[in-house]
Structure 1
Amino acid sequence: MLSRSIRMGLLVLATLVLCGCNAQDGLQRASVDGTVTVDGVPVEMGSITFIPTDGTIGPATGGKIVDGKYQIHASDGPVPGQHLVQIMGRRGTGKFKQEKLEGEIVNTEIIEEMVPKKYRGKSELKHKVQAGTNTLNFDLTTDD
């Protein structure tokens, strides 16, 4: 059984692979960077995905969040226009459990989801990406 941190890493990798990012597609793209926090606490590890909406044409694009920061270069970035923004993020709890991994018992940290559901898979968070360089900071809250 894979540990939660390995599964999270695979999820982030799959998101990036499935994004359809391609510098050779002839689309104008923008670079995007910024920070992601939840109630003022940086998201330790996760992913951010920009999904074109409201008439914006282009592929979904995304990147990794590490220690509350993300950066997507223009070669792989979103096209300018309106986007739904989905954010996934986890953090270590400081608690550990024993798991069997390749025949050995190892202590693995218990990981928990820290981004509220309203910003994840069915996110209604929208943002307009401008041509050129964008710094988009997302200060999320757990309040409804």
Structure 2
Amino acid sequence: MVNKAVMSVWVILVLGMLQGCGSGDNLPREPISGTVSLDGEPLESGNITFTPASNTETSAASAAITSISEGRFSLDAAVGLVPGKYVVIISSPVAGKPAAPAKSRRSAPGVADTVSGTGADDAVEEPPTREIIPIKYNTQSTLKADVTKGGPNQFEFSLSTKS
């Protein structure tokens, strides 16, 4: 179940990136903007994805993703949303706890790694990331947005980590 949800998010992200290079599709797009807070504080950084709530022939072209910075997001009319109902997915991955030093797979203990120039005992794995947004706003989002022709299409999403 989680793999299917993660795959869906990746598909949406790729579609959003492709669409973000300039629409050129002649769809009647509207600018959108808004805010995202988590537990009463502006969300420092993340991404917000809008996917059409219904399947239509323009669904893929209607999806959009943009970044959240200091609790704010926006899309101008050139890459905005087609009027309609959307499911909203919010994501904000952060670095987890630092990993312990790892043994190099290229070198024997205490032997310098000829690729990186570091000793085998100096190699450190990247810390894993974790998602700080609860799944009810993320992979199993219950958030909705209704984009209307002529706007104002300003949305406020107040998220909570508490049940």
Q: 1:28-67 alignment to 2 at 5 Å?
A: 28-54=28-54, 57-58=58-59, 59-67=62-70
Shift of 1:130: 1.3
TM-score by length of 1: 0.71
> 2:79 maps to what in 1?
76
Q: How many pairs does the alignment contain?
A: 131
> 1:123 maps to what in 2?
141
Higher Cα Rg: structure 1 or 2? 2
> 1:87 maps to what in 2?
90
Extract structure 1 runs of 4+ deviating beyond 4 A.
Answer: 14-17, 95-100, 108-112
Q: Name the Cα RMSD after superposition.
A: 3.1
Distance in 2, matches of 1:99 and 1:44, equals 29
Distance in 2, matches of 1:29 and 1:49, equals 16
SS in structure 2 of the partner of residue 137 of structure 1: strand
* Seq. identity, %: 34
Structure 2: runs of 5 or more not aligned: 1-10, 103-114
TM-score by length of 2: 0.64
| Structure 1 pair 37–110 and aligned structure 2 pair: CA distance change class (3 A) | farther
1:5-30 superposed Cα distances (whole Å, 9 cap, x missing partner):
xxxxxxxxx96542252421111111
